[in-house]
Structure 1
Amino acid sequence: MTRRAFVPCTIAVALLSVATATAPGPTGASAAATPEDASCRIIPVEADGPHRSAEARAAFGVDGTGVTVGIISDSFATAPGLLTTPEQDVSIGSLPGPGNPCGYETPVEVLADGPGSDEGRAMAQLVHGIAPGARLLFATTGIDSLGRTTPLHIFHAVELLVAAGADIIVDDIGEELDLYFQQGITSAMMRAAAAADPSLMFFSSAGNDNVLGTPGTSVAGRPVGSWQTPAYRPVECPEWAVDGTELDCLDFSPTGDGDATYGVTTGAETQLLSTLLHWAEPMTTGPPTPSSFELRVYDAQHALVGEAPQHRTFLPVASFEAADGPILPAGDYEIVVARTAAADESARPAIWMMPFLRHRAFTMAPEYGVSAGPDLVGPTTYGHPAQGTAIGVGAADWTTPDVPEVFSSIGPGIELFTPFDEPLPAEVADTPVPVIPAVRSAAAVFTAAPLPEPIVTTAPQITGVDGTQTSFFGSRDDQSARRFSGTSASAPHVAAIMALAKSYSPATSREELRRLLLETATPMTNPYAQFGFEDANVIGTGLADAYALLAALPAPHTAAPTPPAAPTAPAAPVQLPASGPDPLPALAAATLLAFTGLLAVLQRRRRPSRNARAGRLAR
């Protein structure tokens, strides 16, 4: 997520040490401590202040030793032309490995790597900063020959990390089968892995999809990133939107007045990338969903500028498929949701949509920007970070840790069907892959069914800080330091805090660790409370507090871990080779498209590759 304008120059590691000396400190009541001054590191651990993790390490004598943290993201060491290499990261203390000046010489174990932006390496740096003694693993989500992230790749990544002994797994992934109204493939995989290992814990980025109402409008400052209704309301389509494929269109009016358009004025340039439409019908293993919908966007002259159809007939999702659609200037647009197929035209499935590419600078003023009647406006967290299978983590800037980032996705989540846990459809996997092989037999048949009552889940569950320094990843600030923003940065910070807790009290159960993590969080300010959004669905229980968490744990029954070798002062900073023009951080670029071009929406969770494009628009 872009934070500041980029500086077109090459940075040496030596310059990073200068930047750390002038970086602003955190403000606010929750910033109880300043970043640890570790002479063996070039780059300070800025998250130590707001998360009180340096205090926790010192007071309880732990550093994560004995705990293994697995990371799932796009790539670790494949992106060309970056400011540092993994070896250089080790030499300046940002990663563990032979020659680490702080004495942490067990290298990151890369179990599988693939093309990407090396965001996974940046996540590893953040985990290592808070829990330097933890063993680190990495597995890429990978892509297929068409450049798609699929559940098969995610299944493989989870499988590799579990087999290698991960105690905690943190991800920033999002893919097509993360559903709004049903637990999908990723949730099922995590649920199965957690059932097989009662100590395994998952953390996930909640997403960067929140959008605020444009200043000076009736919805100024209000979350307006999504719109949903519990039952489809059919109405005749506008004449200018008819192409002969539609049965009818959605009535956006909460009073049933027959308004087939969702008018919206955008406050900044945007794209249709990341536009999503989900409807409440269960995912299948091949047969088409009973209904099919299409989201269409028109300009003020009613010219079609883009459409998001259903790409996979077994999946109740419509999305914009082009990786680089046209840039849409700020202005007036009309959205139409057309029903293009229905096995039963009397069916009235719930509808949820998130229009446009969402980024920090983007605002909009929708015609229906306030919850009214049965319709709900605002929730943007979905999939496994919203469904309890992973602890969803929101984001707050490390310098202002008592308020969430404007882009940090909010809840609640909702489930209307029993979870999907069948083998992957043949067109998704090269061969059928049972999602829960230890529980299901190959011949078992499971059909998702409507739940007796909807399950409403709070999301995110907790908040971590972002905007802290890495050696190479993120936007440059005015001191030329690289700052990693988004929930892809906050999630590894909270996962690292849990590594400290597990290291200190290894006998404490997963359920108790989760409860105490949430209960000991530092209170935060909910900026949307005035609009009726509950704290639990904006900031979770608050900002993760490492010291308070460890203080609440029972004393360990074993001796404290042996500290690492005495730190040594880092060698003279190495001048890095020029990397050419400042590379725009393409967060998870490898996962732009999923399943024959269906966009994977990332960095809830959500998600990184679109953030790179957001950076271009926000400059």
Structure 2
Amino acid sequence: MPQLPGRRRSRVVGVSLLAVGALLGSALPATAALAAPTRPTHGAPGTRSALGNGLARLVDTPAAAQKRIAGGFRLDQDALTMRDDDGRVLVDAVPQAGVDRSAFRRSLEAKGLEVSAVDAGTGTVEGYLALSAVRDVAALPGLGTIAQAVKPRTSTGSVESQGVVFQRIDKVLRKGVTGKGITVGVLSDSFDTATTTVAGDPLTIHAADDIRSGDLPGPGNAKHPRPVTVLEDAPGEDEGRAMLQVIHDIAPDANLCFATAFSGEVGFANNIRALADPKGKCRADVIVDDVSYFDEPFFADGILNDAVDDVAALGVQYYSSAGNSGDNNGWNAPVRLIPATKGVKGTNLDLSQVDPALYDGGLQDADPGPGTDVAQTVSLGEDGGLLDLQWDDPTDYDGATIGDPYFSESGELTAPGDTATFTFTPTADQLGETVQFIADGVPSGTTDLVLTVKKPNGTVLGPIDTGSSPETAGTTLDQPGAYTITIGQYGTSVGGFTVEVRPIIALSKVTTDFNALIFDAAGKFRGALADANQLSGRPLELGQLPGPGTLQIVISRSGTGPTPVHRLRAVANGDLFFTEYGDPLSPTVFGHPAAAGATGVAAVDPFRPYLPEYFTSPGGDLPILFDSSGDRYRSTQVRRSPLVAATDGGNTTFFVSDSALDADTLPNFFGTSEAAPHAAGIAALVLQKQGGKRSVSPKAMKALLSRSTFAHDLDPFSASGSAGGLTVSAAGAQGSERDPVPGTLNDPNFFRVSYTGSVPLQSVTFLGETASPTAPGRTHPPLSDGIVFDPRPFSAAGPDFRNTGFPFTVGGTGGGLAASTVRASYAKPFGATAGTYRHLTVTFDKRLRGGQSLRFGVDRDLATSPYGGTNEGNGADELGGAVFAPQRIVDPIGLTFVAVRTDGKKIVGIVKNRLGHGYSPVDGYGLIDAEKAVLGR
């Protein structure tokens, strides 16, 4: 990344450092009244009225502070600003009547104005001028007015994604690089079939409206008349059209195509190839999707991976959303099986209603520490959530070898809520056989079915719903009597189906059968996800768990003897959260975003504070052990995904709804689903600049984008700082206070304080206003108001925790420190919420001595939340420094802590994030800088 000129860059960082330096060098007042290091405030506004179009607002904000206006678009004035590569602002200077225009122009140039155009009628001179010179120009004799030249509305339509500015795409477009000659294909749910909004209201804005407004190309858009080529559409919410709007903002002259990905995995794979077909209607150079199927393999290549790799081999760039399962949605552990009799000791689990065949191979110890716990607690919101458990066995799409059917019937689901029930009674010869129950749509894969099988003794297999048909359940016919088969539908899916029972002649390549046993909080057995995996050929258990409430998940094994399986991994979706033994960095990227030919894209919030979205799926170096045929690779394939990050939350004309995070009333499109088309659009610009179509190979493009990013946080979910033997650290993911779980809001071990000094400490004070430099500010915008401490009582009522706090709570001590001798006090009330404070002081009645440590928690909130009041701000990354985009400015200053020693001396330190360039499993190599990627600067 090109550095800003040294003086300009150091001005921002230097101010903060000087503030802390002054604190270090001064005689600090008493601990309870400590003054925080402050960030620069604004000077008094100018008085000359000749500064028009809001130019005075730009001038009256110091250059360093102006560079902190992250994203620009959130503040109206900067959203209208046009700047050159040196940061100068485009202005219009108009002479008074009768003034010598040649002399007037020369006087402007002498003040540093670089003339770009002159209007012969009015004598207006337009050009780029440093803000520091505006006052001098305004004082020139003969000047009539000087005004900011306001940025025009782009030709791409009435709505523009915030990512255009945030990722410096606007600077590329100004250079005439607009995607001309490049074709981008999009795969999502639908293009123009929706009749209602996501919220269920009538949809009034359709593709024809987007074309008329200029937000999509097509007849009626004078500048871009070539319409979107639609290969196949499907019923949906038109999320694909929203993605196409984003790409049209970024690469307005690119040709656009669409094909649905909602036709099952095979249909999805076929449409990937159809978009890239050199002889097809589209012939895409770049393809992007935002769809995943939950039965895509975690540890193997699959059908979609093969399709992605096929088009990448043709030179096509492929981008895929990393996923939105990043908020306590992942669990990952080595296989540690213990006998069931040992595992249930000390628990409330009642196994009396569980078929012993489901756990005869043992129970998984979910506790990663030295303890033992086979039950992992999960919390569910009102809508429940989907659990996807997989392990490192091969995926065998052929599955077991199946014989001729013992039973065959057909039926049709014609209306929402329909079910069909069949009974199958095995003959004496069939008893003891291993069979597979199979339900499939007609034609195959078309009807989204739910399969449930109940054995004669009442044992239930299912419900089984992998996201598309066919659905299968394997079992041994070990009981005489009738087996009841129930066929239901997912959502409103209707259509014909077949149901069969077929004998298993040979097992699949899957070696091990794991199950997920579901218990309620009281330990009562509620059901099981228990496919016969060696029959299905799928090493996964997948099911929707109802909410709201708390459940216990027990992973068990069917079958005994050694197993080659080493690792288990689970991903939650919807309102399902691992509230015990979860890891915020557990990989939840899976399937084709980890294909060799794909670029997985994470999401970064363009609104203050600037962080990766709390829900963006973490990944990392993901091991792929098997090919799509179920054969083990000679050596493990390591796929790094996500690779890069891009913007989400941008405006569209209709999708999904307006957010309080921006000042307008346009709908905002959040999720990695919007980030992926931002990355794809930038790739189209790169291709045009590099020579067109296949001018850059997918491998070379990955390398180029990886090194064309803004600096970012390299130690996600943690921050720390040390001074004078005192170390303060914090660990915890961001989370959302609107989720059914409070995240780290009430974590009593969030902070850790340790001391190795020789002189004991009386107290440590934490200064919240110095944290989170990119957070919103109302007292001195556009600078940050930092965070506040919220010790109000915690309420577990949920699911909205924005109006609750968490008092200071000791989670643990070390080195002989007694928890009873530690107390907290607060100072400097601040924010819209009563009972929140800028300063927290932790006092040690018997002193904190060398070798001692303390873990504690207290709620942290953004002092000025964009949602109103004081809320959010719970992650450790909020405490440290941050990076301003699009300004490319790194501000390392974070939460300041001030300790008072028993000899009266002070220790001052800063909690920091590790900011720089490199890889993080949360946002890859970071947010793509389009100017760097396309123009090389």
TM-score (norm 2): 0.47
Residue 64 of structure 1 aligns with which residue?
179
Q: Which amino acid aligns with 1:114?
A: A
Q: Which amino acid aligns with 1:448?
A: D
1:514 aligns to what SS in structure 2? helix
Q: Which amino acid aligns with 2:615?
A: F
The range that moved more, 182-191 or 492-501, is 182-191
Deviations 1:48-76 (A, max 9, x none): 111111111112x1110100001111111
When residues 355 and 205 of structure 1 are mapped into structure 2, their CA distance, relative to the original with a 3 A threshold, is closer
How far residue 503 of structure 1 moved from its aligned partner, in angstroms, is 1.1
Residue 627 of structure 2 aligns with which residue?
419
C-alpha contact (below 8 Å) 1:228/1:350 kept by paired residues: no
Residue 225 of structure 1 aligns with which residue?
329
- Greater share of strand residues, 1 or 2? 2
**In 1, Cα distance between equivalents of 2:167 and 2:303:** 32
**In 1, Cα distance between equivalents of 2:594 and 2:371:** 33
Residue 489 of structure 1 aligns with which residue?
674
How far residue 536 of structure 1 moved from its aligned partner, in angstroms, is 2.1
5 Å-filtered alignment, 1:30-179, equals 31=71, 37-38=152-153, 40=155, 41-59=157-175, 61-81=176-196, 82-100=203-221, 103-143=223-263, 149=264, 151-163=265-277, 164-179=282-297
User: For 1:184, which of 299, 302, 309 is the aligned residue?
Assistant: 302
**In 2, Cα distance between equivalents of 1:177 and 1:334:** 23
2:706 maps to 1:518:
yes
2:326 maps to 1:210:
yes
**Whose radius of gyration is greater, 1 or 2?**
2
Residue 476 of structure 1 aligns with which residue?
658
When residues 235 and 389 of structure 1 are mapped into structure 2, their CA distance, relative to the original with a 3 A threshold, is farther
2:389 aligns to what SS in structure 1? strand
How far residue 293 of structure 1 moved from its aligned partner, in angstroms, is 1.6
Q: Which amino acid aligns with 1:417?
A: L
2:562 maps to 1:346:
yes
C-alpha contact (below 8 Å) 2:158/2:213 kept by paired residues: yes
How far residue 357 of structure 1 moved from its aligned partner, in angstroms, is 3.4
**In 2, Cα distance between equivalents of 1:251 and 1:89:** 54
C-alpha contact (below 8 Å) 1:77/1:121 kept by paired residues: yes
Residue 235 of structure 1 aligns with which residue?
339
**In 1, Cα distance between equivalents of 2:609 and 2:387:** 30
How far residue 348 of structure 1 moved from its aligned partner, in angstroms, is 4.7
C-alpha contact (below 8 Å) 1:78/1:113 kept by paired residues: yes
How far residue 412 of structure 1 moved from its aligned partner, in angstroms, is 1.8
**In 2, Cα distance between equivalents of 1:357 and 1:229:** 19
When residues 505 and 314 of structure 1 are mapped into structure 2, their CA distance, relative to the original with a 3 A threshold, is same
**In 2, Cα distance between equivalents of 1:69 and 1:78:** 21
Residue 319 of structure 1 aligns with which residue?
542
**In 1, Cα distance between equivalents of 2:339 and 2:260:** 45
Residue 443 of structure 1 aligns with which residue?
none
5 Å-filtered alignment, 1:179-578, equals 179-195=297-313, 197=314, 199-211=315-327, 224-236=328-340, 238=344, 240-241=350-351, 242-246=354-358, 247=360, 248-254=362-368, 258-264=372-378, 266=379, 269=381, 271-284=383-396, 285-287=398-400, 288=508, 289-305=510-526, 307-310=528-531, 313-320=536-543, 322=544, 326-329=546-549, 332-340=550-558, 342=559, 345-354=561-570, 356-358=572-574, 365-366=579-580, 368-369=581-582, 378-400=586-608, 402-420=610-628, 422=629, 447-449=630-632, 451-452=634-635, 454-478=636-660, 479-506=664-691, 507-525=695-713, 527-530=716-719, 531=731, 535-552=919-936
Structure having greater relative contact order (Cα 8 Å, sep ≥ 6): 1
Residue 770 of structure 2 aligns with which residue?
none
**In 2, Cα distance between equivalents of 1:200 and 1:229:** 36
Q: Which amino acid aligns with 1:520?
A: S
**In 1, Cα distance between equivalents of 2:217 and 2:225:** 5
Residue 556 of structure 1 aligns with which residue?
none
When residues 155 and 457 of structure 1 are mapped into structure 2, their CA distance, relative to the original with a 3 A threshold, is closer
The range that moved more, 495-504 or 383-392, is 383-392
**In 1, Cα distance between equivalents of 2:605 and 2:620:** 22
When residues 449 and 485 of structure 1 are mapped into structure 2, their CA distance, relative to the original with a 3 A threshold, is same
**In 2, Cα distance between equivalents of 1:192 and 1:418:** 17
How far residue 256 of structure 1 moved from its aligned partner, in angstroms, is 6.9
How far residue 230 of structure 1 moved from its aligned partner, in angstroms, is 2.9
Q: CA RMSD in A?
A: 2.8
Deviations 1:345-391 (A, max 9, x none): 210513434364346xx76531x2459xxxxx622111221344210
How far residue 160 of structure 1 moved from its aligned partner, in angstroms, is 1.5
Aligned length: 463
Deviations 1:402-457 (A, max 9, x none): 4100000111242252321x4xxxxxxxxxxxxxxxxxxxxxxxx512654x4443
**In 2, Cα distance between equivalents of 1:409 and 1:492:** 17
**In 1, Cα distance between equivalents of 2:666 and 2:528:** 39
Query: Gaps (5+ residues) in structure 2?
Result: 1-65, 80-150, 197-202, 401-507, 720-730, 734-917
Q: Which amino acid aligns with 1:489?
A: E
C-alpha contact (below 8 Å) 1:32/1:52 kept by paired residues: no
2:357 aligns to what SS in structure 1? coil
2:190 aligns to what SS in structure 1? coil
When residues 335 and 503 of structure 1 are mapped into structure 2, their CA distance, relative to the original with a 3 A threshold, is same
2:712 aligns to what SS in structure 1? coil
How far residue 99 of structure 1 moved from its aligned partner, in angstroms, is 1.1
Q: Which amino acid aligns with 1:392?
A: G
C-alpha contact (below 8 Å) 2:388/2:571 kept by paired residues: yes
How far residue 130 of structure 1 moved from its aligned partner, in angstroms, is 0.6
**In 2, Cα distance between equivalents of 1:85 and 1:64:** 24
When residues 387 and 401 of structure 1 are mapped into structure 2, their CA distance, relative to the original with a 3 A threshold, is farther
Q: Which amino acid aligns with 2:933?
A: L
2:399 aligns to what SS in structure 1? coil
How far residue 231 of structure 1 moved from its aligned partner, in angstroms, is 2.9
How far residue 473 of structure 1 moved from its aligned partner, in angstroms, is 1.1
2:676 aligns to what SS in structure 1? helix
C-alpha contact (below 8 Å) 1:73/1:139 kept by paired residues: yes
When residues 173 and 39 of structure 1 are mapped into structure 2, their CA distance, relative to the original with a 3 A threshold, is closer
**In 1, Cα distance between equivalents of 2:241 and 2:67:** 28
**In 2, Cα distance between equivalents of 1:56 and 1:110:** 28
TM-score (norm 1): 0.69
